[in-house]
Structure 1
Amino acid sequence: MTTTKLHLTRITKTYEGSMTLLTGNDCVEAKRILAPNEYKCYVEFKSEKRKSEYLYGRYAAKISAMELLGESDPKKVEIISGVFSQPILRCNNNIDNISVSISHTSNMVGALAFPETHPMAIDVEEIDRMNLDLIVQHLLPDEQDMVVKAKTFETSMATLLWSVKESLSKVLKTGLTISIPLLKISKKVKNDDHYVFEFEHFTQYKVQGWMIENYVLTICLPKNTTLKMDLIPMNFDKI
């Protein structure tokens, strides 16, 4: 498990956020970390896969939120599901209206905690060559060209572009029910340890993206915010 503080600097103010990454190697005990209502939901899931996603997602989000709330008991930080299954944080001392964003793949979970006044979202995706054709079908021509130019890293780039759209759709609170062309990527800039993406229609947002071994990680945030982390995600592949 890795948890890192996020420093979100605007022109007039700095906000604090927190990010937690878990893998399948992290051991999580449901009864120790889930509040009673959460545990009731957990045991009602029939699928072990769905149970694991729920448990690990809640745990990662709680760890991130507790970092900002100054809370030490995970059972006092409850995460319920909204009408669109979006995670909603409940905690008695949540005076700053801390919100959370959760994403998971088969073997990695990522979660963000951030003040509601500074919207953010996270997405993690596994890089799988078998998904390449399907992803490319849903990309726009200019985005498909980014994949082609990545050459031997085309699967990584396609997965990264898809994750960029996912994280933006979460900030917009639509998910991928939104028309995909509205999420058109207009700009891609490569920095030393990450990429930065901007959008044609939602110009107020940007996405920063990293490669972590066989996964991509993206964070959507306001365009004019400077994001600094105490720990940079490891094993960035320069594609």
Structure 2
Amino acid sequence: MNGLQYEARIRSYLLGRYAAKTAASQLIGEQDLRQLQVKNGIFQQPLLVSRDGHRHPVSISHSGDVSAAVAFPAELQMGIDVEALDEVNVAAVETQMTEREKVTVRKLPISYEKGLMMLWTAKESLSKAVKTGLTTPFSIYEINQIELRPTYMVSTHTYFTQYVTLSVLGHRYAVSLTIPKLARLPEAFRQECQAFLAKL
């Protein structure tokens, strides 16, 4: 059993690296994924190194059999997170939410459990965007408002007001992407994200 779990973790890890290479190849125009390497920065954040030695920031997430990655220019910090909607984790996730967030989740037109997982991904994607990861208390990433859109949700943050987080709930997964508030994503990118999320 442990061997199977270990193999699953390795597979998920490799899928994340493949997703990062695929995302970066579209950003920099490198067709040969073998020319791209995923390494770690000083904060253990993933960096993609191209054949010319240039380093390109990427954000990677994997959960179960799903991996997601986003590559972006250095001046445009982003973070992505994907999590399985596994209710076994709900109790642990709830301990990482502020009272304000719990009240906000209960007002959403989705189950409390799914709402908690959506907030978890939103907070974790922000932690990746600001390069702190899970090294600081999760309360610092508090979400103070959620705006419902036709196909996704937009969250704003109490302390990191310069960012917004876009979240989508699939049938089995929650996915969040944190971007600078002033960023304008191309429509083609939005459509690609929605096509990906529709499969989850």
TM-score grouping bracket, smaller chain normalisation: 0.7 to 0.9
1:85 aligns with 2:44: yes
Residue equivalent to 1:42: none
Considering only CA atoms, is the larger Rg found in Structure 1 or Structure 2?
Answer: 1
Residue equivalent to 1:108: 66
The TM-score normalised by the length of structure 2 is 0.87
1:155 aligns with 2:85: no
Of residues 180-189 and 228-237 in structure 1, the stretch that sits farther from structure 2 once superposed is: 228-237
Query: 1:72 Cα deviation (Å)?
Result: 1.4
Query: 1:83 Cα deviation (Å)?
Result: 4.3
Query: 1:116 Cα deviation (Å)?
Result: 0.8
Residue equivalent to 1:26: none
Alpha-carbon displacement from aligned partner over 1:101-154 (angstroms, at most 9, x marks no partner): 100001210010111111111100110122222211210011111232347611
Listed as ranges, the matches of 1:124-135 within 5 Å are 124-135=82-93
The percent identity for this pair of structures is: 32
Flag the structure with higher helix content.
2
Q: Distance in 1 between matches of 2:184 and 2:31?
A: 29
1:65 aligns with 2:24: yes
| SS of equivalent to 1:115 | coil
Query: 1:184 Cα deviation (Å)?
Result: 1.2
Flag the structure with higher strand content.
1
Q: Distance in 2 between matches of 1:185 and 1:76?
A: 39
Query: 1:94 Cα deviation (Å)?
Result: 6.9
Alpha-carbon displacement from aligned partner over 1:37-81 (angstroms, at most 9, x marks no partner): xxxxxxxxx932332122111111111111112111111011112
**Greater relative CO (CA pairs within 8 A, separation 6+):** 1
Of residues 150-159 and 67-76 in structure 1, the stretch that sits farther from structure 2 once superposed is: 150-159
| SS of equivalent to 2:72 | strand
Given that 1:69 and 1:93 are in contact with CA atoms closer than 8 Å, whether structure 2 keeps it comes out as: no
Q: Distance in 1 between matches of 2:53 and 2:77?
A: 16
Listed as ranges, the matches of 1:202-217 within 5 Å are 202-217=160-175
Residue equivalent to 1:50: 9
Name which of 191, 196, 200 aligns with 1:230: 191
The amino acid that maps onto 2:44 is S
Given that 2:12 and 2:66 are in contact with CA atoms closer than 8 Å, whether structure 1 keeps it comes out as: no
The amino acid that maps onto 1:63 is T
Gaps of 5+ in 2: none
Of residues 143-152 and 200-209 in structure 1, the stretch that sits farther from structure 2 once superposed is: 143-152
